[in-house]
Amino acid sequence: MKRASRLDLDLNDQMTEVFDEIQKEDGITKAEIVRRAVAYYRILRDQKSNNRKVLLVDQDGSNAKELILI
């Protein structure tokens, strides 16, 4: 098993507030926020590389918006 890597991040005040908000609302650590963000990024990157669109759709299907990937 590979040893875990350590990552130090410098966040500006705005990003610190975002992290604090997510941490409080979701009850997860800042490390878990980063892990999830990387996992979501990988999914989106893979979709883009396969020339697929990513849509955000309401649960009832009434409203759909395309997420533009850069």
DSSP 46-65: HHHHTT--EEEE-TTSS-EE
3 assigned to some structural domain: no
2 assigned to some structural domain: no
Q: Are 54 and 66 in contact (CB under 8 A)?
A: yes
55 assigned to some structural domain: yes
5 assigned to some structural domain: no
> 64 pLDDT band (50/70/90 cuts)?
very high
8 assigned to some structural domain: no
As for how many domains the chain has, the answer is 1
Range of the domain at 39: 13-67
DSSP reduced 3-state for 32: helix
> What stretches of the chain show up as alpha helix (H) in DSSP?
13-26, 30-49
7 assigned to some structural domain: no
50 assigned to some structural domain: yes
pLDDT tens digits for range 9-38: 999 999 999 999 999 999 999 999 999 999
Cα 51 to Cα 13, 46, 48, 54, 61, distances in angstroms: 36, 9, 5, 10, 23
